[in-house]
Amino acid sequence: MTGPAAPEASARSEAGARERRMPRLVAFDLDDTLAPSKSRIEPAMADALTRLLARAEVCIISGGDFSQFRTQVVDALAGPAAEGTGAEPDLGRLHLMPTCGTRYLRFEAGEWRQVYAEDLSDDEAARATASIERRAAELGYDGGETWGPRVEHRGSQVTFSALGQAAPVAAKVRWDPTGAKKAALRAAVAADVPDLEVRSGGSTSIDITRKGVDKAYGMRRLLDATGIDAADMLFVGDRLDPDGNDFPVVATGVPCVAVEGWRDTLVVIDGLVGAAPAVAGTPSVAPAPAPAPAQ
């Protein structure tokens, strides 16, 4: 009797099943999907994304703010990808949706420009912060070593990271290997602010946005902005479990592939890139709203 397939084999099977039909747009979560949490993408991933951008639109939608997207992905694409393939990434085909899709940016005229933002009000942010701090203390999550601020206001989202924003990956894994601590905090905060959306984020974090403003909201805005049908998109993420912040995407009708790390994602991308030739000079999909310069 054989056991369950390894995650990488599962990802390879998913990718192979799609080889005959390349999506027009492929969307990815960031942390633990394209790279380890808060880490720069590896050269192999930069190379893979560059090759994918030559064949399709690409979206990254995750809980981090725009500065994290720039550090983890955009800056990395400028160097290792070009060195590995001899090609420059087509940033005009890249859609960035920080803070779980509550912000949307496109690359136009040599700069990243903001298409929209769904910011929390001062009152909403204050209530979310007060609940996080009180509930974390009650659950015994205070004390111990931390790396950077634990609560971050990202305009459209408040994020709590139990070990701080710059905690090393190994420490995050040790802190909550089963996810039980994070789930308990999420439930407690959700009870305090029922008018807001509270979801599990990264390995040690929870994200708070306006009600109904989550990755499903972001993906629906992306569907509207690009005019691409849900069936012609693909979403890849590591938190497609019911408590994860990728799970809302399932409700949009966009086909989803679950992975357990960036190496699984490489398998998915390789399957897609091998299925479709690069199309030189194909125009990128332009969003309908008039963009404003990013801050």
Structure tokens at 106: 């496109």
What is the Cα–Cα distance from 185 to 221, expressed in whole angstroms?
29
% of the chain at pLDDT higher than 90: 66
Task: Note whether 30 and 102 are same-domain residues.
Answer: yes
Task: Note whether 181 and 92 are same-domain residues.
Answer: no
| Last residue within a domain, chosen from 157, 176, 210 | 210
What is the Cα–Cα distance from 52 to 33, expressed in whole angstroms?
15
**Count: domains in the chain:** 2
**Residue-level pLDDT at 203:** 81
Q: What is the CATH number of the domain that holds 279?
A: 3.40.50.1000
Distance of CA 266 to the CA centre of its chain: 16
Q: Is residue 189 part of a domain?
A: yes
Task: Note whether 126 and 250 are same-domain residues.
Answer: no
| Last residue within a domain, chosen from 176, 210, 244 | 210
Burial of 1 (0-12, 13-18, 19+ CB in 10 A): exposed
For the ranges 13-22, 144-153, 222-231, 232-241, the lowest mean pLDDT is seen at 13-22
| Last residue within a domain, chosen from 188, 210, 232 | 210
Region 233-243 average pLDDT = 94
**Residue-level pLDDT at 84:** 52
Task: Note whether 130 and 108 are same-domain residues.
Answer: no
In this prediction, residue 11 has a pLDDT band, given cuts at 50, 70 and 90, of: low
Task: Note whether 132 and 103 are same-domain residues.
Answer: no
Region 51-68 average pLDDT = 94
Q: Name the pTM for this structure.
A: 0.76
Q: Which of 61-70, 72-81, 104-113 has the highest mean pLDDT?
A: 104-113
In this prediction, residue 279 has a pLDDT band, given cuts at 50, 70 and 90, of: low
**Residue-level pLDDT at 278:** 60
In 107-256, which residue ranges form alpha helices assigned H by DSSP? 122-138, 169-175, 180-192, 215-226
- CB–CB of 55/278 below 8 Å? yes
The set of residues, in sequence order, having a beta carbon less than 8 Å from that of 134 and lying 6+ positions away, is 192
User: Does 83 score more than 60 pLDDT?
Assistant: no
What is the Cα–Cα distance from 76 to 58, expressed in whole angstroms?
16
User: Does 201 score more than 70 pLDDT?
Assistant: yes
Task: Note whether 110 and 248 are same-domain residues.
Answer: yes
**Residue-level pLDDT at 275:** 61
In this prediction, residue 37 has a pLDDT band, given cuts at 50, 70 and 90, of: confident
What is the Cα–Cα distance from 223 to 17, expressed in whole angstroms?
23
% of the chain at pLDDT higher than 70: 83
Q: Is residue 1 part of a domain?
A: no
- CB–CB of 163/145 below 8 Å? yes
Residues 132, 64, 283: CA angle, nearest 5 degrees:
150
pLDDT, tens only, 97-149: 998 888 999 999 999 999 998 899 999 999 999 999 999 999 999 988 999 99
**Residue-level pLDDT at 63:** 82
Task: Note whether 128 and 157 are same-domain residues.
Answer: yes
Q: Is residue 2 part of a domain?
A: no
Sign of the CA dihedral 177, 202, 249, 70? negative
In this prediction, residue 33 has a pLDDT band, given cuts at 50, 70 and 90, of: very high
Q: What is the CATH number of the domain that holds 175?
A: 3.30.1240.20
In this prediction, residue 245 has a pLDDT band, given cuts at 50, 70 and 90, of: confident
β-strands 111-117, 292-293 pairing? antiparallel
What is the Cα–Cα distance from 141 to 177, expressed in whole angstroms?
15
User: Does 55 score more than 50 pLDDT?
Assistant: yes
pLDDT, tens only, 153-172: 988 889 999 999 889 989 99
Range of the domain at 277: 7-118+213-293
Task: Note whether 171 and 95 are same-domain residues.
Answer: no
What is the Cα–Cα distance from 92 to 57, expressed in whole angstroms?
9
Q: Which residue has the higher pLDDT, 271 or 79?
A: 271
What is the Cα–Cα distance from 243 to 217, expressed in whole angstroms?
17
User: Does 15 score more than 70 pLDDT?
Assistant: no
Q: Which of 48, 108, 104 is nearest to 271 (CA)?
A: 48
For the ranges 14-23, 169-178, 203-212, 272-281, the lowest mean pLDDT is seen at 14-23
DSSP 21: S
